[in-house]
Amino acid sequence: MIKAIFWDNDGVLVDTEELFFRANREILARSGISLRRKQFEEISLVRGESVLQLAAVSGADEYNKLRSDRDALYAALLAGEPLVIDGVTDVLEEIAGNYVMGIVTSSGQEHFDIIHSNTGLLSYFQFVLTLKDCVHVKPHPEPYLKALALSGFAPEECLVIEDSPRGLAAARNAGIRCIVIPSKFTRGSHFEGAHQVLDSIRELPALL
């Protein structure tokens, strides 16, 4: 019996991955690097690494400047877009109160706060874990192990909702079943080991 549900944020609750891709692509273009979608998918959404590593930088200061510029651009893009994925609010409203629910994301707190400044989604969740709360990011299991500890339930009593291979790996490495709802970026990815793969979040309530 499922007692807790842990939700990824980007690509599951909010449509932000395209904006993050655009921010990275523009910053890398300033260094003469053309970022391709397949590169972004493999590096960011499968391996959980930064595409900024593609830039030939001379040291930490130059890399940090690239990251700072990218983060500022991403923040500006987030502030100008409606972000909630279709069906998310309806599903959360339907299942609210039946489960302990938390958001588990590798996003930074600043961007997370911008994203949810007007989504109206946070009231459905009992806790949030962002980049600042973990030493390791997905696909490492630490984020979901922390979610287990916060929920107070055993892995077999919990469920993860993810959209990416790295998120699925993090859930499986923590011993938790994972339902994958691929995003526009991850629809062509392999999700071996997923409990189920859905076409839409609207399919979720019938499975719980």
Termini Cα distance of the chain: 9
- Determine the pLDDT at residue 59: 79
Residue 72 — very low, low, confident or very high, per pLDDT cuts 50/70/90? very high
Q: Which residue has the tokens 């930064």?
A: 50
Give me the pLDDT at residue 39, please: 93
Q: Where are the alpha helices (DSSP H) in 32-188?
A: 37-40, 60-79, 88-95, 109-115, 142-151, 165-173
How does pLDDT run across 1-57, given as a tens digit for each residue? 999 999 999 999 999 999 999 999 999 999 899 999 999 989 998 898 999 989 877
Average pLDDT of the segment spanning 163-177: 97
DSSP run (H or E) holding 17: helix 17-29
Q: How far apart are CA 183 and CA 197, in angstroms?
A: 11
Confidence of residue 76 (pLDDT cuts 50, 70, 90): very high
> 103 pLDDT band (50/70/90 cuts)?
very high
Q: What is the pLDDT of residue 67?
A: 92
Distant-in-sequence, close-in-space partners of 186: CB < 8 Å, separation ≥ 6: 11, 41, 45, 163, 164, 165
Closest by CA to 45, choosing from 208, 181, 185, 196, is: 185
Portion of the chain with pLDDT greater than 90, in percent: 85
Per-residue model confidence (pLDDT) at position 96 = 94
Give the residue among 9, 3, 1, 7 at the shortest CA–CA distance from 116: 9
